[in-house]
Structure 1
């Protein structure tokens, strides 16, 4: 908290007692529950965020800018943050909250300014408009915020993971004895705070990292510790978390990006020579089918597309592979509510066509509204599993923070 603004005596010697007293006074004044003796690496993300706010208050700021402050928090931590924000406002501080979460805007804000494509659209009082009206102002047209879908009709098992263990890049256990099953015609959502093994789980399924033990089966065949090409061959498609780093080659054209996984196959290649005409026509069709803009973007570098249209291109490419399993990792990250609505429709459409869908998202509202079955991941293990009609935000939030299902139910 005090780094860079240390309290010293007249000889320049650090006075920790005086500094601690000042920090304790600020923490008490605003109701911060912070263990001042804990190491930052050992505390929760929510606690780390409180420390960041405490650092700013320690320096005497009057204006706090919070940019997507709830992105990796549990529902309980979000509620606590809202209480802290209200306490700060009561004491005369000004808070600028930058967020795309409509519910949090209505819960916390006195005024809301909507910006679209760098231009100011309107300023409203959140209490006087509903979420649908805010969403329409954000994207410029009406948006349905409720995911429309019929009850799932799960069939045979497509993905079966049994006692999987995976290490992270540091050699530490990240996925610990994890087991799950996903059926054809089902969206299985994984809810959890970032850093609880989600990345390592996906990397193991797609063979970008090794599994230490356990099995991963697709349609009954083991695929762990093979190759990404083998994964694609077993009809697994992935919408990656980072579309620009993992999903696209930014300097390639949209046409080349559309066939990244099958450029060696007919009709896109003959005798080792790429067939530009076939690739062009194929891309043109998918651009039309998935409403990727601008309409003639085929020869353009993919980096020139907006984030939403880049994501549409990835979705078009992966779905057109007709997978048995579609893995969607943070598929709506950085998208406006209109693009989010589109992505959700695509996931539900794939489910309805008999595909198995694995949805991994840090947005709990997204998991609750889109998934048919919800698994909560904590410290590399599935901490509880619910059907959509059994799941509630409070219970899942507690499990995301490390609570046990029996204790929650009790």
Structure 2
């Protein structure tokens, strides 16, 4: 029995065809992966199923009955819930207040918060979500916030859950936990549509996979009858290499020197504690660590986004400690931030404007105080083609792009500036395998041109493939250095957790 049948779905945005006659059939009680490149049309198709968009052509059946899903309220009435890639939570509110928002239980005309908390606790226990109903959203982890979003759909009675790129911002441990939650939801009678481009997660978690490429449905098949290589080829239309080819590093002079760095977090506690770090021209230094061990504060201190309490940061031998971010970037630093929406883009600016965000007041983009938009947009068109950014045009607002294509805009801007030091924090977060292959190649190219690259990633596979040296960070300190050619993932994981590995300091 199919719980969802979408037939011939077409959706246009002006001349751009996001969905082109797509068919999708989802069986009851399965985890069904919707796989595709960044900008392939996955989220658009699911936004149609959730009533956020109306199809230009095609039809939808839910549980065998033809339906018109005019808005999200109608989708909820039909038992459809959606957890969006970027969470829609009110940070000062509690978990319970967020979950019941718009559907508050009342007693004698007043909000019955006690009953609401009891219902949230019951749902949390039933599905193994382990969420504290009274916790404030701003005080809980990203993984826990995602569980709150799932609880919001369950509280509204959803039987069909759409999870849009749910693992994009999770740690490896949180991904494992989410997969277990998904399997438990299915055992409890739910059906899950899992939008993703991560092949390992499809192989681990899903029953069926439907592949979309450039707005068209390519194939739908049982996961048990395929493998990662075949899925990658179906997704991008060519064979994809899962290995990174690179020559031995020819490291030269130090470009970045960090000595005795002390940086506080938002609570006023030491997040970075007397840290020393050196990155040389012609090498990629990877920083491996469990999330929350000072990585974010370290990068923000280096780039001028957070105050240094003690210690020194040198760039090409010159002290840049506590200088303004603009000054640091213009001294030869490129920064791919871990949060593209908060730190990397002005979402309401166009793609073209975002690609000139660092150099907008310099020639050829400005003459005096006047911006030269023909040059800005010509520059953007070149980068859009070079980095395969899926956008209707360079004038489109960055907000309208998929998460992966927003990431490509940031990477294109920073790499094109050809900085002496490129800081890449989670550079491939939210990207598909084809884009990951491309970005890895560009990082290696920067290194081979004699540039210094500082890589921070929660993906150990990425750290081990790209790095020439790996620094392990734990509780705000570099606790060891290892050679990626000889260290194992197990040794690396042990050192990241504060244990003693085999790596020697270098």
Q: Please tell me the TM-score bracket, short chain as reference.
A: 0.7 to 0.9
Offset, 1:346: 0.5
- Bigger CA drift: 304-313 or 119-128? 304-313
Is the counterpart of residue 254 in structure 1 residue 348 in structure 2? no
Offset from partner CA, 1:77-97 (integer Å, 9 cap, x none):
544554565566556554443
- Bigger CA drift: 280-289 or 313-322? 280-289
User: Alignment partner for residue 365 of structure 1, among 442, 461, 470?
Assistant: 461
Within 1, Cα distance between the matches of 2:331 and 2:96? 54
The residue that corresponds to 2:415 in the other structure is 319
In structure 2, list runs of 5 or more residues that go unmatched.
1-94, 106-111
Is the counterpart of residue 162 in structure 1 residue 256 in structure 2? no
Q: Does the residue aligned with 1:406 lie in a helix, a strand or coil?
A: coil
Within 2, Cα distance between the matches of 1:170 and 1:202? 17
User: Alignment partner for residue 377 of structure 1, among 442, 452, 473?
Assistant: 473
Offset, 1:360: 1.8
Offset, 1:345: 0.8
Q: In 2 relative to 1, CA 183–111 (structure 1 residues): closer, same or farther, beyond 3 Å?
A: same
User: Alignment partner for residue 342 of structure 1, among 432, 438, 447?
Assistant: 438
The residue that corresponds to 1:328 in the other structure is 424
Cα RMSD (Å): 4.7
Is the counterpart of residue 153 in structure 1 residue 250 in structure 2? yes
- Bigger CA drift: 39-48 or 331-340? 39-48
TM-score of the superposition, structure 2-length normalised? 0.63
The residue that corresponds to 1:406 in the other structure is 500
Q: In 2 relative to 1, CA 94–269 (structure 1 residues): closer, same or farther, beyond 3 Å?
A: closer
Offset, 1:236: 1.4
Is the counterpart of residue 183 in structure 1 residue 280 in structure 2? yes
The residue that corresponds to 1:174 in the other structure is 271
The answer (yes or no) to whether the contact 1:75–1:394 under 8 Å persists in 2 is no
The residue that corresponds to 1:9 in the other structure is none
Offset from partner CA, 1:158-192 (integer Å, 9 cap, x none):
21212211123343332222222212211112234
Q: In 2 relative to 1, CA 233–127 (structure 1 residues): closer, same or farther, beyond 3 Å?
A: same
Offset from partner CA, 1:248-283 (integer Å, 9 cap, x none):
455357278437326335x6666x366849946982
Within 2, Cα distance between the matches of 1:311 and 1:48? 22
Is the counterpart of residue 138 in structure 1 residue 238 in structure 2? no
Within 1, Cα distance between the matches of 2:185 and 2:278? 46
Larger helix percent? 1
Q: In 2 relative to 1, CA 390–70 (structure 1 residues): closer, same or farther, beyond 3 Å?
A: farther
Within 2, Cα distance between the matches of 1:340 and 1:142? 13
More contact order relative to length (CA 8 Å, sep ≥ 6): 1
Larger strand percent? 2
Q: In 2 relative to 1, CA 87–310 (structure 1 residues): closer, same or farther, beyond 3 Å?
A: closer
The residue that corresponds to 2:5 in the other structure is none
The residue that corresponds to 1:219 in the other structure is 316
Q: In 2 relative to 1, CA 42–287 (structure 1 residues): closer, same or farther, beyond 3 Å?
A: closer
Q: In 2 relative to 1, CA 230–14 (structure 1 residues): closer, same or farther, beyond 3 Å?
A: closer
Offset, 1:383: 4.4
Within 2, Cα distance between the matches of 1:151 and 1:163? 30
Q: Does the residue aligned with 2:321 lie in a helix, a strand or coil?
A: coil
Within 2, Cα distance between the matches of 1:391 and 1:77? 24
- Bigger CA drift: 354-363 or 87-96? 87-96
Q: In 2 relative to 1, CA 79–118 (structure 1 residues): closer, same or farther, beyond 3 Å?
A: same
Within 2, Cα distance between the matches of 1:318 and 1:97? 31
Q: In 2 relative to 1, CA 129–253 (structure 1 residues): closer, same or farther, beyond 3 Å?
A: closer
Within 2, Cα distance between the matches of 1:109 and 1:212? 48
- Bigger CA drift: 75-84 or 210-219? 75-84
Q: Does the residue aligned with 2:397 lie in a helix, a strand or coil?
A: helix
User: Alignment partner for residue 196 of structure 1, among 293, 297, 322?
Assistant: 293
Within 2, Cα distance between the matches of 1:294 and 1:315? 14
The residue that corresponds to 1:235 in the other structure is 332
Offset from partner CA, 1:170-226 (integer Å, 9 cap, x none):
433322222222122111122344443333222211112210111112222221111
Within 2, Cα distance between the matches of 1:84 and 1:277? 49
The answer (yes or no) to whether the contact 1:112–1:126 under 8 Å persists in 2 is yes
Q: Does the residue aligned with 1:165 lie in a helix, a strand or coil?
A: strand
- Bigger CA drift: 68-77 or 35-44? 35-44
Q: Does the residue aligned with 1:301 lie in a helix, a strand or coil?
A: coil
Within 2, Cα distance between the matches of 1:301 and 1:111? 38
Within 1, Cα distance between the matches of 2:130 and 2:354? 51
User: Alignment partner for residue 301 of structure 1, among 395, 401, 406?
Assistant: 395
The residue that corresponds to 2:79 in the other structure is none
TM-score of the superposition, structure 1-length normalised? 0.75
The residue that corresponds to 2:34 in the other structure is none
Q: In 2 relative to 1, CA 296–263 (structure 1 residues): closer, same or farther, beyond 3 Å?
A: farther
The answer (yes or no) to whether the contact 2:282–2:452 under 8 Å persists in 1 is yes
User: Alignment partner for residue 386 of structure 1, among 482, 491, 496?
Assistant: 482
In structure 1, list runs of 5 or more residues that go unmatched.
7-11
Is the counterpart of residue 263 in structure 1 residue 361 in structure 2? yes
